[in-house]
Amino acid sequence: IIKLNSKQCRIYRVRINDLEAAFIYNDPTLEVCHNESKQRNLNYFSNAYAAAVSAVDPDAGNGELCIKVPSELWKHVDELKVLKIHINFSLDQPKGGLHFVVPSVEGSMAERGAHVFSCGYQNSTRFWFPCVDSYSELCTWKLEFTVDAAMVAVSNGDLVETVYTHDMRKKTFHYMLTIPTAASNISLAIGPFEILVDPYMHEVTHFCLPQLLPLLKHTTSYLHEVFEFYEEILTCRYPYSCFKTVFIDEAYVEVAAYASMSIFSTNLLHSAMIIDETPLTRRCLAQSLAQQFFGCFISRMSWSDEWVLKGISGYIYGLWMKKTFGVNEYRHWIKEELDKIVAYELKTGGVLLHPMFGGGKEKDNPASHLHFSIKHPHTLSWEYYTMFQCKAHLVMRLIENRISMEFMLQVFNKLLSLASTASSQKFQSHMWSQMLVSTSGFLKSISNVSGKDIQPLIKQWVDQSGVVKFYGSFAFNRKRNVLELEIKQDYTSPGTQKYVGPLKVTVQELDGSFNHTLQIEENSLKHDIPCHSKSRRNKKKKIPLMNGEEVDMDLSAMDADSPLLWIRIDPDMSVLRKVEFEQADFMWQYQLRYERDVVAQQESILALEKFPTPASRLALTDILEQEQCFYRVRMSACFCLAKIANSMVSTWTGPPAMKSLFTRMFCCKTCPNIVKTNNFMSFQSYFLQKTMPVAMALLRDVHNLCPKEVLTFILDLIKYNDNRKNKFSDNYYRAEMIDALANSVTPAVSVNNEVRTLDNLNPDVRLILEEITRFLNMEKLLPSYRHTITVSCLRAIRVLQKNGHVPSDPALFKSYAEYGHFVDIRIAALEAVVDYTKVDRSYEELQWLLNMIQNDPVPYVRHKILNMLTKNPPFTKNMESPLCNEALVDQLWKLMNSGTSHDWRLRCGAVDLYFTLFGLSRPSCLPLPELGLVLNLKEKKAVLNPTIIPEAIAGNQEAAINPSSHAQLVGFQNPEASCNMSAHQQGVKRKADTPLGSPLEPGQILEKNEDSSKVKLKIREEIDMDTVHDSQAFISHHLNMLERPSTPGKEQSPLEMSMHPVATAPLSVFTKESASSKHSDHHHHHHHEHKKKKKKHKHKHKHKHKHDSKEKDKEPFTFSSPASGRSIRSPSLSD
């Protein structure tokens, strides 16, 4: 039995070596729980889902498609000869995996900008063709796509040639990917793309949708620098011979990296006038390129090794950030990521990078705190997965801290060079495993290169989940001149772990800055740190800082007895931790003013929120004014200042916070109420100019209202905004002004819940509303880039509604949420509807949203709605709500059970929502089921699905056919005559251009005719995969190749050349194949007829060679697949 992955495909016929083979198609993930009307608890579902996913997990040798090898061929299998599998299949209206974008305008498909691309979360290639959908099964590929002549098909590998079909209406793109690649890294994008060859690197080609070429030119003009950077630090050339970037609409994710091509969202394109999007887009480009090296070229051995790939690609991406945007930006980013992961882990309880699934240890599930299984990528919550990636690169950074960057890069270089050697060695399969990275292999090369033992670090952060939570406080002992530092840990709350080991503490004293490394041990809380300087505040002397700088300080604020200026715990972020440290307000202020590290500055700003004093105010204002200071620090200082001002509202003197500052920086000298005409040449001040009004609008007076002065100020900014002389667009700036207006809104004073009408509208609100109306209307006439202004207006309107100034009504948002608006607008509008659903507990809107989740054409929007509903749920598990009823439970259950089977991400999103709404156990709103069942649930947390076990067995044994599954047993009849034709097509293509009968190309032909969406794309593809030849095959094929070098040669995959020095295998395989290719010529004309008929379905057929070479010695595996892991465990070779 051979098992393959396939979803949504209709399989007509499977042939092995030209013999019809019986097959069963059974996809347990289509409907996770069968016939279980009563069961509604999530625990049950998650277990069933995990079991279903394992039942088709390619890494475990499973698959949806079980093909029985005909008994005639058993001998072949025993002799370990090549088995060639043809699969005829079609794909009708795929719901996932391939996404069609077909704008409903007049004109041909090309004129309308219709396009299609492959998409998915993790290994999702099975959605569009049958394959071993695993990252660890490598093979080389030959792909053919026949498309309308106006379209371009972009796929992996080199475009060998483009040939017209005989009627000249279509053309066929022939791709060759000679680097062994996993099926999961195969992708496709077809559309009427505009083509741009990178002017710096001619092997790089960019594609975008019609009319966007100028934007594409600008956006990609930077890419070559990223290439140079990575190639330099990795001292390794880009592994593929070409690279393609495709920018498409309705993207599944912003960035998706596949072998030698990346698919981006078209919304990343921008012109030279856009400031804010530029760094974001460049980051996306850099990210995708990093993943080309680690993720596409180097693949992973198994799911538990995913963290290495994500870690390395994230890490080198970080290095690129450091080089491009500077150390400040890099450190700020690291801190941001650290804060994110810490917050997530503390909230949900731990992200495990390297899940180990030992056979016996199944019981102590490492992720019992989670409502989903982490055994499979497809059961993970999307948020968990993003956090997983974030943690992975942070851990890589920790490893770098331990072994130095030089060694780190050497390790990467070693991995890459091993892989590229392996990839060029065509036919030796055991070499190909070098292209797969595993945790143990990675750790081994680290210890080889650096000679350091990083095992404790790995154990702490990789094999274990959780972060560290420190509480620190100190006292200064004047007599001993010692700093008594107390560091406590919380390792009992969820998501935390105990840390034992070194911890760096930096103490800034009067005499300078000193690093101390404390040893955190089991029971030691207190640490004595000797101070270097006596307290001597009277002596005027410059104070040396960490970076060697010497500065004058006004020391009057500090404690006369203590020489301590400030203390930092773990300043280099070398532990994944959260630190809550107590020190006096003046120490935070010194830290803010004089510490040069942006992370320290950020921390002190955060801490100063708790100290609303004039001194804090002064420190923040000084930072705001300091132009050398990192702009992000200044931006956060704005918000802190606003908070402090609100806390000290009764004692605040002078004009509202930041007003005079803003006036000084950005307004005209002669008339301070008028802002200068925009000039955004200095990005730092641009960002500050954008942010300050937003922060100012948060100011409140004693009545908790936004001061009139501030509102007038913001309105004046809007009024006098003049962008005529500016080189850059001011759309983000204007959008932030609207955000500022929204921030200034305070709850309306309402009397008896009266209906909001125009007459009782607050005059200030009237002014605000007038601006919003004007902006929103102007957007219709002169739209801004990415409609930033509309987005802000919609948010502002929701704020007005929520505060009771405007009647709460979702109709406006619903109209903006419709398909056909720009995606940012839709998301903003949907967010408002989600919020409305929560606040007004509207069943109708919830239904509307759920309906959209099921029916919206854009997968990203559907995912986003679920995500927003989870973040801002209409009710939670312990809450009484009129919305929580049985029908809703059923609806959501259905959604995750069967409604989302075409999109892993969506299903996991539905699970998340279900968890948020109802929790793990049976929803409380349901009527009590039979008593026995309830008891059962409470006793055993993990109830095994009684149906899933036999089903899994059924899948394995192929004996029982599950009635609910889509199993179909096809015998030896030919279901579709035309399939036969397309099967012969390849013989035509190969042509008898060599007198010697060449082995028939394994490959596949796919013809599509998308009738639903009326895309008349014709794709024919030919894919070589899993070709396993013995040495005889190799040698004779090699001879063939030498004879006709111009013909695209077929790829050989794994075999052990060294073990078969003598050719023993019979040539019968080849004679047979050549016979079939001759035979096919006769059918050629039939094939043409078939094509003219334009049948409304797609055919695809695939050939698979599998020849198992006989293992004679040494090799412990019986199956010489690159993924040895699969072969050992693989039950697929049951015969």
Q: Helix %, strand %, coil % for the chain, to 5? A: 45, 15, 40
**Range in contact with another protein (rule: CB under 8 A) among 69-77, 785-793, 905-913, 1003-1011:** 785-793
**Range in contact with another protein (rule: CB under 8 A) among 68-76, 132-140, 780-788, 1091-1099:** 780-788
**Range in contact with another protein (rule: CB under 8 A) among 83-91, 127-135, 557-565, 810-818:** 810-818
Is residue 757 at the binding interface for another protein, with CB under 8 A as the rule? yes
Q: How far is the CB of 722 from another protein (least distance, A)?
A: 7
By beta-carbon proximity to another protein, the closer residue of 860 and 1034 is 860
Q: How far apart are CA 330 and CA 312, in angstroms?
A: 16
- Yes or no: say if 68 and 1 are a contact pair by the CB < 8 Å rule: yes
Rounded to 5°, angle at Cα 39 from 34 and 45: 70
> Which residues fall within 8 angstroms of residue 610, CB to CB, at 6 or more apart?
none
Residues 296-325 that bind another protein (CB under 8 A): none
Q: How far is the CB of 1001 from another protein (least distance, A)?
A: 15
Q: How far is the CB of 736 from another protein (least distance, A)?
A: 18
By beta-carbon proximity to another protein, the closer residue of 112 and 984 is 112
**Range in contact with another protein (rule: CB under 8 A) among 129-137, 261-269, 617-625, 695-703:** 261-269
Residues 884-923 that bind another protein (CB under 8 A): none
- From residue 881, how far is each of 475, 838, 865, 873 by CA, in Å? 50, 10, 20, 11
Kindly state the tokens that stand for 181.
Answer: 């690649």
Q: How far apart are CA 707 and CA 4, in angstroms?
A: 67
Out of 18, 35, 74, 164, which residue is the one contacting another protein (CB under 8 A)? 164
Q: Which of 751, 749, 753 is nearest to 763 (CA)?
A: 749
Kindly state the tokens that stand for 383.
Answer: 């948020």
Residues 329-368 that bind another protein (CB under 8 A): none
Q: How far apart are CA 534 and CA 583, in angstroms?
A: 19
Q: How far apart are CA 1122 and CA 1054, in angstroms?
A: 7
> Which residues fall within 8 angstroms of residue 609, CB to CB, at 6 or more apart?
640, 643, 644
Out of 352, 599, 823, 1028, which residue is the one contacting another protein (CB under 8 A)? 823
Q: Which of 614, 667, 669 is nearest to 644 (CA)?
A: 614
- Yes or no: say if 928 and 934 are a contact pair by the CB < 8 Å rule: yes
What is the distance of C-alpha 813 from the center of its chain? Answer: 28
Residue type, 353: L
Out of 256, 769, 852, 1069, which residue is the one contacting another protein (CB under 8 A)? 769
> Token pair 């019809």 is at which residue?
20
Q: How far is the CB of 860 from another protein (least distance, A)?
A: 13
Is residue 727 at the binding interface for another protein, with CB under 8 A as the rule? yes
Q: Which of 229, 226, 232 is nearest to 262 (CA)?
A: 226
Is residue 668 at the binding interface for another protein, with CB under 8 A as the rule? yes
**Range in contact with another protein (rule: CB under 8 A) among 61-69, 115-123, 263-271, 1119-1127:** 263-271
**Range in contact with another protein (rule: CB under 8 A) among 267-275, 351-359, 575-583, 1119-1127:** 267-275
Residues 85-114 that bind another protein (CB under 8 A): 103-105, 110-113
Is residue 665 at the binding interface for another protein, with CB under 8 A as the rule? no
Neighbours of 424 (CB within 10 A): 10
By beta-carbon proximity to another protein, the closer residue of 488 and 991 is 991
Q: How far is the CB of 580 from another protein (least distance, A)?
A: 43
By beta-carbon proximity to another protein, the closer residue of 36 and 203 is 203
**Range in contact with another protein (rule: CB under 8 A) among 213-221, 637-645, 1031-1039, 1125-1133:** 213-221
Is residue 22 at the binding interface for another protein, with CB under 8 A as the rule? no
By beta-carbon proximity to another protein, the closer residue of 163 and 649 is 163
Task: Tell me, residue by residue from 1066 to 1105, as one string, x for binding to another protein by CB under 8 A and - for no binding.
Answer: ----------------------------------------
By beta-carbon proximity to another protein, the closer residue of 150 and 233 is 150
Query: How many Cα atoms sit within 13 Å of 207 on the Cβ side?
Result: 24
Out of 70, 441, 512, 783, which residue is the one contacting another protein (CB under 8 A)? 783
Task: Tell me, residue by residue from 920 to 959, as one string, x for binding to another protein by CB under 8 A and - for no binding.
Answer: ----------------------------------------
> Which residues fall within 8 angstroms of residue 367, CB to CB, at 6 or more apart?
350, 352, 355, 373, 374, 465
Task: Tell me, residue by residue from 1029 to 1058, as one string, x for binding to another protein by CB under 8 A and - for no binding.
Answer: -----------------x------------
Residue 195 backbone dihedrals phi, psi, to 5 degrees: -110, 130
Q: How far is the CB of 747 from another protein (least distance, A)?
A: 17
Is residue 778 at the binding interface for another protein, with CB under 8 A as the rule? yes
- From residue 336, how far is each of 330, 367, 464, 578, 632 by CA, in Å? 10, 25, 22, 12, 12
User: For 107-181, where are the alpha helices, taking DSSP H only?
Assistant: 109-112
**Range in contact with another protein (rule: CB under 8 A) among 28-36, 75-83, 271-279, 430-438:** 271-279
Q: How far apart are CA 97 and CA 1010, in angstroms?
A: 15
Is residue 786 at the binding interface for another protein, with CB under 8 A as the rule? yes
DSSP state letter for 467: B
> Which residues fall within 8 angstroms of residue 327, CB to CB, at 6 or more apart?
none
Task: Tell me, residue by residue from 121 to 160, as one string, x for binding to another protein by CB under 8 A and - for no binding.
Answer: ----------------------------xxxx-----xxx
Residues 172-201 that bind another protein (CB under 8 A): 192-197, 199
Q: 3-class SS at 698?
A: coil
- Yes or no: say if 1028 and 426 are a contact pair by the CB < 8 Å rule: no
Residues 577-606 that bind another protein (CB under 8 A): none
Out of 19, 73, 233, 273, which residue is the one contacting another protein (CB under 8 A)? 273
> Token pair 């009408």 is at which residue?
757
**995-1029 exposure pattern, b = at least 16 Cβ within 10 A, e = fewer:** eebbbbbbbbbbbbbbeebebbbbbbbbbbbbbbb
Is residue 855 at the binding interface for another protein, with CB under 8 A as the rule? no
**Range in contact with another protein (rule: CB under 8 A) among 333-341, 814-822, 903-911, 1059-1067:** 814-822
Could you give the strand order of the β-sheet that contains 512-520, starting from the edge strand earlier in sequence?
A: 512-520, 501-509, 564-569
Q: How far is the CB of 812 from another protein (least distance, A)?
A: 5
Is residue 812 at the binding interface for another protein, with CB under 8 A as the rule? yes
Out of 126, 391, 756, 1107, which residue is the one contacting another protein (CB under 8 A)? 756
Q: How far is the CB of 663 from another protein (least distance, A)?
A: 14
Length of the chain: 1135
**Range in contact with another protein (rule: CB under 8 A) among 35-43, 51-59, 307-315, 765-773:** 765-773
Residues 987-1026 that bind another protein (CB under 8 A): 991, 993
What DSSP string runs through 805-819? Answer: SS---SHHHHHHTSB
By beta-carbon proximity to another protein, the closer residue of 818 and 1089 is 818
Residue type, 1063: A
Contacts with another protein by CB under 8 A: the residue count is 98
Q: How far is the CB of 826 from another protein (least distance, A)?
A: 9
Q: 3-class SS at 848?
A: helix
Q: How far is the CB of 772 from another protein (least distance, A)?
A: 8
Is residue 679 at the binding interface for another protein, with CB under 8 A as the rule? no
Q: How far is the CB of 801 from another protein (least distance, A)?
A: 8
Residues 824-843 that bind another protein (CB under 8 A): 824
Is residue 205 at the binding interface for another protein, with CB under 8 A as the rule? yes
DSSP state letter for 124: -
